[in-house]
Amino acid sequence: TQLLEQSPQFLSIQEGENLTVYCNSSSVFSSLQWYRQEPGEGPVLLVTVVTGGEVKKLKRLTFQFGDARKDSSLHITAAQPGDTGLYLCAGLPVEYGGATNKLIFGTGTLLAVQP
Amino acid sequence: KAGVTQTPRYLIKTRGQQVTLSCSPISGHRSVSWYQQTPGQGLQFLFEYFSETQRNKGNFPGRFSGRQFSNSRSEMNVSTLELGDSALYLCASSRDRGPHNYGYTFGSGTRLTVV
């Protein structure tokens, strides 16, 4: 069974602080995605990473895929209240092949940014 | 363009009843996947449909079934409802299979409560 463990589970910080969320597994993934979900809504895709060691930036968010493609991190610089939400990583295990949408989701990190 | 539409948004059913949930994907998207989200288990994969054929199924009992129509719209059915089926059911669509190539858009979900 593939598992994606996220840490921390909960994070409450002040506006302007920096934070990092981690997503770890013992499985190898052909790609990994990060989503943000707000209460009562579906997850919204933030980024997809496919190459080991890849770094992608989306404004104040920086995403990294581990060299071995078993882990990923999300770093937020100068967090704002609008960043509040549930952050989910989701991966496509290598053994599933590429032509499927059967994603394994992480356990989630609930972020609250206080003004 | 219109997003992924799920109906209804909320449902309350009694144990033993059955329920049908509907998902209309983004126009032009041929792949539809269903996920169940609960506080304890997070997001878990239910099914994946592409061109009216079920391509993958998650580890759920046979009470959970689904189908996809020629216009790519999809329905899922849960028979003999149990209290533990209470969850947010999410539908996601993509143009093709393989989220890292084609993106993955979720609907807002159907909140099912079984009493």
Sheet with B5-7, strands from edge to edge, namely B5-7, B19-24, B74-78, B64-68
Counting one residue from chain A and one from chain B, the pairs whose CB atoms sit within 8 A come to: 75
pLDDT digits (tens, 9 = 90+) for A29-84: 988 999 999 998 999 999 999 999 999 999 999 999 999 999 999 999 999 999 99
Cα separation, B17 vs B13, whole angstroms: 7
- The pLDDT, as a whole number, for residue B96 is 78
Give the residue carrying structure tokens 């053994």: A95
Measured on CA atoms in the order B19, B24, B30, B36, is the torsion positive or negative? negative
Containing A111, the helix (H) or strand (E) segment is: strand A109-114
pLDDT band at A99 (very low <50, low <70, confident <90, very high): confident
Is residue B89 within 8 Å of B32, Cβ to Cβ?
Answer: no
pLDDT, mean of residues B57-76? 96
Cα separation, A62 vs A55, whole angstroms: 7
pLDDT digits (tens, 9 = 90+) for B72-88: 999 999 999 999 999 99
pLDDT band at B1 (very low <50, low <70, confident <90, very high): low
pLDDT, mean of residues A102-108? 92
Q: What is the dihedral of CA A55, A60, A61, A64, to 10 degrees?
A: 20
**Closest residue of A to B95, CA-based?**
A101
Does residue B98 register a pLDDT over 90?
A: no
Does residue A1 register a pLDDT over 60?
A: no
| Best of A36, A94, A96, A101 to mutate (most B CBs within 10 Å, chain B) | A101
pLDDT band at B40 (very low <50, low <70, confident <90, very high): confident
Does residue A2 register a pLDDT over 90?
A: no
pLDDT, mean of residues B41-51? 94
C-beta atoms of B48 and A92 within 8 A: no
Q: Calculate how close chain B gets to A79, using CA atoms only, in Å.
A: 25
